[in-house]
Chains A and B, each alone.
Chain A
């Protein structure tokens, strides 16, 4: 099968809408199809990665455990926009998994290299 570079751009907060959760479902399928998968987290999307989500009260599934599963799917290219983190008072230490913190220009460059960009 042809392998293409798929980048998933996550821009929305983890809860409040279903976008982030359903995006993750696509990511896992892309990996199952053995595509070259990467994830970029921008804007409120950086909150998806934050440690310590407590979702019991809103009765929805939390993300944190699922991030750990990405490695099982060989998804290791996780890029986070440093400005988005900073604007929200976060740093890489606040995140549940190791990521590469990049500038917007660097993320833009990575986007240019992709075959398919899916923004959620």
Chain B
């Protein structure tokens, strides 16, 4: 089956992002396909490479990046939500006159149309949020 995943909460504050990650891993382990993981609301905070949790805790951001690399996942961060919350890639930095970027590897910033497309293309769109 072809899944799409929507992550609506940030890392650490809510378990939603952990659960989404475990779900994604389980989906792939069962041989299903993930069309796209889309990050919205505070979920965009899953994509900052500046996250530095204590050493004995899970690194939620790196975990997503690694999963994306291993399975060639398409992980998309909503541009409007990212702009509000200061998640920046090279293009956004230039466009908005910022002096830094913080988008973690494996993520890309794009529009909400990518979420709607995921809803259209996937057999199931699974939402993880509050």
Seen from chain A, the residues whose Cβ lies within 8 Å of a Cβ on chain B are 1-2, 4, 6, 18-19, 22, 25-26, 29-30, 32-33, 35, 115-120
Report the interface size for chain B: residues with CB under 8 A from the other chain.
19
Check A118–B120 contact: CB distance below 8 A: no
Nearest B residue (CB) for A9? B127
Q: Check: B119 CB closer than 8 A to any chain A CB.
A: yes
Report chain A residues within 8 Å CB of B8: 19, 120
Interface centre among B6, B115, B116 (most CB of A within 10 A): B116
Which residues from A are CB-within-8-Å of B112?
Answer: 25-26, 29
Leading 5 A-B pairs by shortest Cβ distance: A116-B119, A29-B112, A33-B116, A30-B116, A116-B125
Consensus secondary structure, chain A interface: mixed
**What string of 1s and 0s marks CB contacts (under 8 Å) between B92-130 and chain A?**
000000000000000000011101110110000101011
Whether the Cβ atoms of B40 and A35 lie closer than 8 Å is no
Interface check B49, CB cutoff 8 A: no
Q: How far is the CA of A118 from the CA of B40 in the complex (A)?
A: 12
Report if A2-B120 is in contact (Cβ < 8 Å); known contacts: A19-B41, A22-B40, A22-B41: yes
